Amino acid sequence: MQYDYVIIGAGSAGCVLANRLSADPTISVLLLEAGGSDAHPYVRAPAGFLKTFQDPRFNWCYSTEPGPGVDGRAIFFPRGKLLGGSSSINGHLYVRGQARDFDTWAQMGNRGWSYADVLPYFRRSEDRPGGDPAWRGRGGPLHVSDIHERHPICEAFIAGAESLGLPRNPDYNGAAQEGVAYYQRTIRNGRRHSAATGFLRPVRGRPNLRVETGAHALRLDCEGRRVVGVIYRQKGRIRSVRAGAEVLLAAGAIGSPHLLQVSGIGPAEQLRTTGIAPLHDLPGVGEGLRDHYAMRVVRRVTRPATLNERARLPRLSWEIAAWMVSGRGLLAFSPAHVGAFLRSRPELDEPDLQIVFTPASYGEGGVTGQLEPLPGMTCGVWQMRPESTGHVRACSPDPQTAPAIQPNYLMAAEDCRAAVEGLRWARRLLSTGALAPWLGPETVPGEGCADDAALLAYARTRGSTVYHAVGTCRMGTDPLAVVDPELRLRGLAGLRVVDASVMPTMVSANTNAATLMIAEKASDLVLAARRAALARAVA
């Protein structure tokens, strides 16, 4: 069996690639996904993330290695395992990042990745009704909507933020990011609008595109210095497929380096220690992991007004019915309603903290978890450009054994400083006069947690991932780069890596929007290379 292009992973990047490459009817495309269908009510309902969060039907359910910066804890680390990947289980927030993020990539030697270069790909991917066409796209595959219901506590939170000097920003994905605003969401008519919904589902009927689910890639098939195909397991059988042009690895910041390593591509000595015969010594594979690490502040609400009450029977029955009929109500909410982008200290040129606010309080589980029985409000915060880096490393030659994931949260001094300042900002935002009619006592971390040492200790013992892993197959021109600026694997032909793992630095944002952009640009790089190859063949 042979196709022109074999795509490994039907997450955000894989769905974009499948759509754009198969638009040419002369190109044959195979898309392999280890997980299953996304056709489940928990996936369709925006609030269903509370159900898919720890469900192995939809989630790889990884855990990190115990971390020295997080009080020796192992932290639950979800990754999507279904069509749409993590875009089918994420929190829906659409945040691009700052222009400086991408200009930094270009300044690191990645020509073609400045903000001016990538803005057209952001615009191409989205459908943002009413947006400024200088910054926003119309008619693209991914629908980006505003929240359907503006809660009075959210309005008070925004007013309070303005009283602290944060401007209300009409579009944080436009000319500037700084300020406070309602989050933009990948939700359409009250249903999740994942990469599978926007990019893959409309083109599933193309005769030149084949989508295989339950297809777990085991290793890359190499001949000499070229990757020529993929070996995968499906329904208990080992299968192989060849790529006439290229293999496009889009398994994410955990899956992509892991598959490279179990295929013998990575740091040679480390692979030998794991029992893997090195095929190609590439020291940067799996190194450079970065992730956003969040803390939260929670206050009780003194009068019934929050989402907590709406999530209890009998009211919940009405909310479910409202969503099924009209796509509105509790089930149509994303986990965060309002966001703020701010500077932890005034001398910074750009915001370095991201805030998420919701008129609800949750049990254990990071920024969000199961809704608590008592009314509350939550303000989460994370440092947008963490300096701490970690790794993803194969633990066994068996590709079905989960890799070791070590983000090394809070190991850099700047990350610790930003965590403390972020918690202080969250407290200020939850203590404004505008919120006074609702304010009850602080329950997390609690008013006894006051000085810097106590706040940092709280961050270490109670913080968690925001599921934004990047950087483990870094794009660049230095010796530790894994792919070049055209996303081609260094030292072997026939393979590109196309997903969040190629980000050379963390974006100042949730990572899904930038991942979609990377895949949009990658599709043009692939098609340009194909045209050049055909021209050479004719010549």
Q: Is 369's pLDDT higher than 90?
A: no
> How many angstroms separate the first and last alpha carbons of the chain?
29
Q: What angle do CA 468, 193, 495 make, to 5 degrees?
A: 55
Say which residues have a Cβ less than 8 Å from residue 93's Cβ, sequence separation at least 6.
Answer: 183, 184, 185, 186, 334, 336, 339, 356, 510, 512
CA pair distance 416, 387, nearest whole angstrom: 10
Q: State the average pLDDT over residues 219-243.
A: 98
Whole-angstrom CA distances from 390 to 108, 255, 447, 456 are 20, 15, 33, 20
Q: Provide the pLDDT for residue 227.
A: 98
Q: State the average pLDDT over residues 510-521.
A: 98
pLDDT tens, position by position, 401-418: 999 999 999 999 999 999
What's the full length of the chain, in residues? 539
- What does the domain layout of the chain look like in residue ranges? 2-538
What class is the 2-538 domain? alpha beta
Helices 452-462, 413-429: inter-axial angle, 10-degree rounding: 100
pLDDT tens, position by position, 482-492: 999 999 999 99
Dihedral pair phi/psi, residue 525, rounded to 5°? -60, -45
Q: Are 378 and 282 in contact (CB under 8 A)?
A: no
Q: Provide the pLDDT for residue 259.
A: 98
Alpha helices in 126-281 (DSSP H): 152-163, 195, 252-262, 268-274
Active site residues: 468
Q: Provide the pLDDT for residue 305.
A: 80
Q: Is 201's pLDDT higher than 60?
A: yes
pLDDT tens, position by position, 29-73: 999 999 999 999 999 999 998 889 889 999 999 999 999 999 999
Signed CA dihedral, 205, 5, 1, 240: sign only? negative
Q: State the average pLDDT over residues 255-262.
A: 98
Percent of the chain topping pLDDT 90: 88
SS3 label, residue 189: coil
CA pair distance 474, 286, nearest whole angstrom: 9
Q: Are 319 and 374 in contact (CB under 8 A)?
A: no
Q: State the average pLDDT over residues 185-196.
A: 97
Mean pLDDT of the residues in the chain: 95
Q: Is 467's pLDDT higher than 80?
A: yes
Q: Provide the pLDDT for residue 428.
A: 98
Q: Provide the pLDDT for residue 330.
A: 87
pLDDT tens, position by position, 9-18: 999 999 999 9
Residue 366 binned pLDDT confidence (cut-offs 50, 70, 90): very low
Q: Provide the pLDDT for residue 137.
A: 98
pLDDT tens, position by position, 326-342: 888 888 899 899 999 99
Residue 267 binned pLDDT confidence (cut-offs 50, 70, 90): very high
pLDDT tens, position by position, 124-174: 999 999 899 999 999 999 999 999 889 999 999 999 999 999 999 999 999
Q: Provide the pLDDT for residue 315.
A: 82
Q: Is 242's pLDDT higher than 70?
A: yes
Q: What is the pTM of this model?
A: 0.97
Strand pairing partners for 357? Answer: 338, 379
**Which of residues 218 and 313 earns the better pLDDT score?**
218
Q: Is 368's pLDDT higher than 50?
A: no
Q: Provide the pLDDT for residue 367.
A: 45
Q: Provide the pLDDT for residue 404.
A: 98
Q: State the average pLDDT over residues 91-101.
A: 97
Q: Is 399's pLDDT higher than 80?
A: yes
**Which residue type does 504 have?**
P
Q: State the average pLDDT over residues 95-108.
A: 98
Q: Provide the pLDDT for residue 312.
A: 80
Percent of the chain topping pLDDT 70: 99
Q: Provide the pLDDT for residue 364.
A: 65
